[in-house]
């Protein structure tokens, strides 16, 4: 029997102990899935100050129970150290590893092992992001530009969650397509189960928004749409699920009588709720994948979306596209679904067909195949 591929997963455990967002789900599903794949031996490597007693992963973590080795300094110190130096190489702390794999935007130099890094987004590089010219956005852009340049030049494999994001890295930072992999994201079984359930009646006067009221998720567009919907259909309400709310939008939301903030909703509960709505209203300013859209489709909920960044790639022809800056087009799309049961049923069927292949096992298989079979170049040893 051939020796297993030994994968040391470089992780920031904070992404595994909080209420999971799309990135957090990716971390847990990809690492757990790879650990369960035949031919792989997966361990964790994390800063000592994030580990519990005896160097174990905290019980509250989605990765609890996996074998772990400690980096003898904090996450902050590690980032600063490896930003300016190749020493100590990370495989010094996990000898024998074939790959140092990070499901997050973390990278560390290795002497013998190959390195694989996942990129989840490039928000601050998007001109449509509100505040693109702000001092904070400029700072974040400069910081991420340095990181992307390093990773695209030095990592053995750069993993993206969409071809939209991959193209950005190739065009802007010269990433070699031979060292690039798109793995995507998957949909949890709860959403597929909700979509396959019989007899769930939807309420034609309820719309769902997922993500919270913030600039990333298009809060200004949602609030403008809420006002227009209230005037056109006074009986309709908009529920916003998510705990990432910006104070200025919360204040504005409180003045919208037809908008309710639900706060964070666990995925199992959210999946159960989705079929009861008329549609998902999805108007992000920036989006490198669009997990909320495909989760809704799997649950049997039509999606009204804008053509922002990676959304059309993910939603394909299974979403009803609107101009997020035109409340008239949004109200018109809602009215069509509300007035025609057959039209809504058609969009439900389109969505389910679209997302049938959006599974986490498929994402893991893409990664496993790349780590195991791709003809990799010999690792370079220089830091420059």
pLDDT tens column, 274-292: 999 999 999 999 999 999 9
Q: What is the pTM of this model?
A: 0.94
Q: What is the pLDDT of residue 373?
A: 63
The 10s digit of each residue's pLDDT in 115-152 is 999 999 999 999 989 989 999 999 999 999 999 999 99
Supply angle C-alpha 305, 307, 310, rounded to 5.
Answer: 100
On the question of pLDDT at 1 being above 60, the answer is: no
> Does domain 189-355 fall into CATH 3.40.605.10?
no
Q: What is the pLDDT of residue 199?
A: 58
Is residue 322's pLDDT more than 60?
yes
Report pLDDT for 52: 93
5-186+360-373 shares its CATH topology with 189-355: yes
Burial class (CB in 10 A: 0-12, 13-18, 19+), 266: exposed
Confidence of residue 2 (pLDDT cuts 50, 70, 90): low
Share of the chain above pLDDT 90, in %: 88
Which sequence spans correspond to the domains of the chain? Answer: 5-186+360-373, 189-355
pLDDT band at 383 (very low <50, low <70, confident <90, very high): very low
| d(C-alpha 40, C-alpha 166), whole Å | 26
Class at the top of the CATH hierarchy for domain 5-186+360-373:
alpha beta
Q: What percentage of the chain's residues is helix, strand, coil (to nearest 5)?
A: 45, 15, 40
- Condensed to tens digits (0 to 9), the pLDDT of residues 215-252 reads 999 999 999 999 999 999 999 999 999 989 999 999 99
């Amino acid at each position: 029997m051939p020796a297993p591929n030994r994968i040391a997963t470089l992780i920031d455990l904070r992404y595994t102990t909080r209420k999971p967002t799309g990135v957090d789900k990716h971390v847990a599903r990809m690492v757990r899935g790879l650990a369960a794949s035949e031919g792989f031996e997966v361990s964790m490597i994390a800063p000592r100050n994030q580990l519990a007693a005896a160097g174990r992963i905290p019980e509250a973590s989605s990765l609890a129970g996996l074998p772990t080795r400690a980096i003898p300094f904090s996450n902050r110190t590690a980032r600063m150290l490896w930003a300016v130096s190749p020493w100590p190489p990370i495989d010094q702390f996990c000898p024998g590893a074939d790959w140092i794999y990070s499901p997050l935007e973390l990278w560390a130099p290795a002497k013998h092992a190959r390195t694989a890094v996942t990129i989840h987004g490039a928000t601050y590089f998007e001109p449509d992001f509100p505040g693109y010219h702000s001092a904070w956005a400029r700072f974040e852009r400069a910081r991420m530009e340095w990181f992307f340049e390093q990773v695209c030049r030095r990592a053995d494999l750069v993993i993206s969650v969409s071809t939209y994001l991959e193209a950005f890295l190739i065009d802007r930072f010269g990433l070699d397509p031979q060292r690039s992999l798109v793995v995507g994201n998957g949909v949890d079984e709860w959403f597929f189960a909700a979509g396959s359930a019989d007899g769930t009646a939807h309420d034609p006067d309820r719309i769902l928004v997922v993500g919270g009221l913030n600039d990333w998720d298009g809060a200004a567009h949602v609030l403008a749409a809420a006002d227009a919907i209230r005037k056109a259909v006074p009986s309709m309400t908009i529920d916003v699920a998510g705990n990432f709310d910006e104070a200025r939008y919360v204040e504005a939301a409180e003045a919208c009588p037809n908008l309710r903030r639900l706060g964070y909703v666990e995925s199992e509960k959210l999946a159960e709720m989705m079929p009861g709505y008329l549609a998902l209203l999805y108007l992000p300013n920036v989006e490198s994948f669009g997990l909320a859209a495909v989760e809704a489709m799997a649950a049997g909920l039509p999606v009204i979306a804008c053509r922002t960044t990676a959304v059309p790639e993910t939603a394909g022809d299974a979403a009803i596209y609107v101009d997020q800056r035109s409340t008239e087009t949004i109200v018109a799309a809602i009215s069509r679904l509300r007035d025609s049961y057959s039209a809504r049923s058609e969009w439900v069927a389109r969505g389910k067909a679209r997302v049938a292949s959006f599974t986490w096992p498929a994402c893991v298989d893409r990664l496993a195949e790349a780590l195991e079979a791709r003809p990799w170049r010999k690792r370079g040893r220089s830091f420059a």
